[in-house]
Amino acid sequence: MSCIAAAVASSMSGEAEPMRMRPAILGGRASQRAAITLGGVSLPPKNETLHTLLVGSTGVGKTTLIDEVLAGIVSRGDRAIVVDPSAHHLTYFGGDDDIILNPFDRRGQGWTIFNEIRKDFDYFRLAKSLIPDGHGPDASWHFYSQILAAEGMRVLMRQGENTTMHLLDRLTSATVEELAKLLAGTQAQGLFDRDAGRALASTRFILTTYLNSHQYLQPGGFSLRDWLADGDSNLYITWREDMQAVMQPLIGCWVDLLCNAVLSLQPSPDRRLWLLLDELGALGHLSSLEGALTRGRKHGLCVIAGLQSTAQLDRVYGRETAISIRSCFRNLVVLSLSRSDPDTSEILSKALGDREIDRVQYSTQSGMQGISRGESLQRATERLALPSELTQLADLTAYVALAGNEPVRQVGFSPVPRPAVQIPFMEGSC
């Protein structure tokens, strides 16, 4: 079975609530919508689709805040896609109808990339999820790999060989001659020209790097696009630390596919679809992320992402794209930052803004009539939080800066004890 046992939603007071059914949902919206909170600060409904970035060093409270958000999501019956390292969120919030994606968990759904194909133009779009865009000198090789994957899927689909094993065999294991014959007459044909040997070798190397994790997938008919359009459950993408290296390309592929598929949904002001990314920087390059952040609002997408350092995004996306992605998060939560990363502290200190303060200046003057003292009021502008202050924040303390005319608040919060309702992992046989 791919479904998992019942969920327990917990109140923010720290006491577990009794087990209950998910509220009735109409068009992706709970019949009664309570406020989502961050460190006890209510997120206004208009801010939910403006996306929220949580930045803080390891172990300072990002996961605790995401727990708080997820408790609100489950309580009011919204849907969530939870990218879940160590299956922490699944353990405490997993519902009886929720979906697991993890090829090493026997509760996981069987899936293949071919399940997402609907139209002819899907092939290249899906190829960009399989092989993310590169940047710098690798960009062209990634593009050629995307062409090879797209044309390979197109031919295999037409031949009725639309399985993961056929895809791996033809694109990564077949000889050059066999692959050239398969792709003759397609846009990938030029990769097999006599003078393109080195280009083809580099292209297949990149392709193999990203397709390798797909060998562990179990066959099955689950479709991310169908789940988005017709489902009413939550979806958990889980892994354990020892699974991360082999699963990372697959995790990135799933998240990218979901980001892209959200934009195909009918626009709705009432829908709320939450994407919780506990460690955004660890997911690799997501080709569709920026588009989902900029255009997902009218489809009801609400992204909550955790990040340890601004350098993580710079490394994955390049500096300019990383800045553009960060700018898409209109709500900002800053937790304690690392002293050894002054660049992140400086950027976030500026992001929190300035404040005006009135300072009393005292003066003393000596004259013929003796000593006179005076005072004057001077208005000064200073940072709301200096970079050094952000590195000295206590754990479980944060600045919450919401979009719009909202004051920046400094809050403290605590983990809420919750009963485990799921086993984190149920490993299948080798």
* Residue of 69, 91, 116, 105 whose CA lies nearest to 7: 91
* Residue of 78, 4, 64 whose CA lies nearest to 36: 78
Q: Which pLDDT value is given to residue 327? A: 97
Q: Which pLDDT value is given to residue 319? A: 93
Whether the CB-CB separation of 403 and 38 falls below 8 Å is answered with no
Q: Which pLDDT value is given to residue 381? A: 84
CATH architecture, range 114-216:
Orthogonal Bundle (1.10)
pLDDT (tens place) for every residue of the chain, 430 residues total: 344 433 333 333 333 333 333 433 333 444 457 899 999 999 999 999 999 999 999 999 999 999 999 999 999 999 999 999 999 999 999 998 999 999 999 999 999 999 999 999 999 999 999 999 988 888 999 999 999 999 999 999 999 999 999 999 999 999 999 999 999 999 999 999 888 888 899 999 999 999 999 999 999 999 999 999 999 999 999 999 999 999 999 999 999 999 999 999 999 999 999 999 998 998 999 989 999 999 999 999 999 999 999 999 999 999 999 999 999 999 999 999 999 999 999 999 999 999 877 677 777 777 666 777 777 777 778 899 999 999 999 999 999 999 999 999 999 999 999 999 999 999 876 5
**Alpha-carbon distance 380 to 389, whole Å?**
19
3-state secondary structure 276-297: EECCHHHHCCCCCHHHHHHHCH
Crossing angle of helices 310-317 and 319-327, rounded to 10°: 120
Three-state DSSP state, 74: helix
The values of phi and psi at residue 354, to 5°, are -115, 170
- What CATH number is given for 25-110+232-336+393-412 in this structure? 3.40.50.300
The values of phi and psi at residue 410, to 5°, are -100, 125
**Alpha-carbon distance 101 to 254, whole Å?**
9
The residues spanned by each domain of the chain are 25-110+232-336+393-412, 114-216
Q: Which pLDDT value is given to residue 430? A: 56
The model carries a pTM of: 0.87
Is the alpha carbon torsion for 334, 306, 56, 131 positive or negative? Answer: negative
Taking every pair of Cα atoms in the chain, the longest distance, rounded to a whole number of angstroms, is: 105
Buried b / exposed e across 329-368, counting CB within 10 Å, b at 16+? bbbbbbbbbbeebeebbbbbbebbeeeeeeeeeeeeeeee
Q: Which pLDDT value is given to residue 29? A: 46
Are the folds of 25-110+232-336+393-412 and 114-216 the same?
no
User: Amino acid identity of 274?
Assistant: W
Q: 413: which 2 tokens?
A: 């919060």
The total of other beta-carbon atoms located within 10 Å of residue 380's CB is: 10
Q: Which pLDDT value is given to residue 128? A: 96
**DSSP string across 345-413:** HHHHHHHH-EEEEEEEEEEEEEETTEEEEEEEEEEEEEESS-HHHHHTPPTTEEEEE-TTT---EEEE-
**Alpha-carbon distance 210 to 404, whole Å?**
40
The total of other beta-carbon atoms located within 10 Å of residue 202's CB is: 15
Three-state DSSP state, 324: helix
Chain CA centroid to CA 256, Å: 9
* Residue of 206, 229, 240 whose CA lies nearest to 88: 240
- The contacts of residue 348 (CB under 8 Å, 6+ apart) are 55, 310, 332, 334, 337, 387, 390
Is the alpha carbon torsion for 230, 231, 232, 237 positive or negative? Answer: negative
**Alpha-carbon distance 256 to 165, whole Å?**
22
**DSSP string across 166-203:** HHHIIIIIS-HHHHHHHTTTSTTGGGGSGGGHHHHHHH
**Alpha-carbon distance 135 to 133, whole Å?**
7
